[in-house]
Structure 1
Amino acid sequence: MEKINVMTAPKTSTFQMRINPEVKSSLEQMYANCGMTLTDAINVFFQQSMNAGGLPFIVTQSSKEALRDQAIAKLMHEIQAGRDSVKSESDWITEDEMLARYGIK
């Protein structure tokens, strides 16, 4: 699928939603302080969602644990990739061999 830039793509469709007027006013003020309109902010959210392939943040009752699990899974993947990148056991060197190779005492 072709990458779409939400901010520069032609705007030929409309999107409507209902929102509490006080919430809308607060959000408009908050985003105005950042130099954006509410529409700009929603477009940024949509772009980030497209970049992430889903919500651009984790939505759970325990986001801390979800982030931890996600980080551990990524770390384990990277460790396995490192192990897989070594052609054989003979490619490994000891710490002493590494220090000697680079002249570190």
Structure 2
Amino acid sequence: MAKTASISLRIEPAVKAQLEALYASFGISVTDAINIFLHTSLMEGGFPFQPKQPRYNPETEAAIQETKDILAGKIKAKSYANVKEMIEDLGLE
């Protein structure tokens, strides 16, 4: 019986090169890094880190929430008759 099994995965060549350079700086290969991840996952009973959604700065988070509120009908979206009206409202004159 074989002592190893193969896993094949696809990755962008540029990302692969960056990973090879990163892990080489630790003295290990990408294969070693993947094995560490998999063994740690087994020991932890899941991801060896907490997966999270990307965080945005407060201004971006407020804009995202405003968009969600507009789509949900909680607030009315601004509308303008023309570009000049919008520029005036934004104070860009």
What is the TM-score when the length of structure 2 is the normalising length?
0.53
Where does residue 7 of structure 2 map in the other structure?
15
Where does residue 37 of structure 2 map in the other structure?
45
**Unmatched tracts of structure 2, length 5 or more:** 56-93
Greater fraction of residues in helix: 1
**1:26 aligned onto 2:18:** yes
- Find the aligned partners of 1:14 and 1:40 in 2 and give their Cα distance: 13
Query: How many equivalent residue pairs?
Result: 54
Cα drift, residue 30 of structure 1: 0.5
Q: Secondary structure at 1:58's aligned position in 2?
A: coil
- Find the aligned partners of 1:19 and 1:61 in 2 and give their Cα distance: 21
Cα drift, residue 62 of structure 1: 7.3
Cα drift, residue 60 of structure 1: 2.1
- Find the aligned partners of 2:14 and 2:54 in 1 and give their Cα distance: 29
What is the TM-score when the length of structure 1 is the normalising length?
0.48
Amino acid at match of 2:31: T
The structure with higher relative contact order (CA 8 Å, sep 6+) is 1
| Match runs of 1:22-101 below 5 Å | 22-61=14-53
Q: Which contiguous aligned blocks of 4+ residues in structure 1 show a shift greater than 6 angstroms?
A: none
Given the superposition, is the C-alpha separation of residues 54 and 21 from structure 1 closer, same or farther in structure 2, using an over 3 Å criterion?
A: same
**Unmatched tracts of structure 1, length 5 or more:** 1-9, 64-105
Taking only the aligned residue pairs, the percentage that are identical comes to 42
Given the superposition, is the C-alpha separation of residues 22 and 54 from structure 1 closer, same or farther in structure 2, using an over 3 Å criterion?
A: same
Amino acid at match of 2:35: N
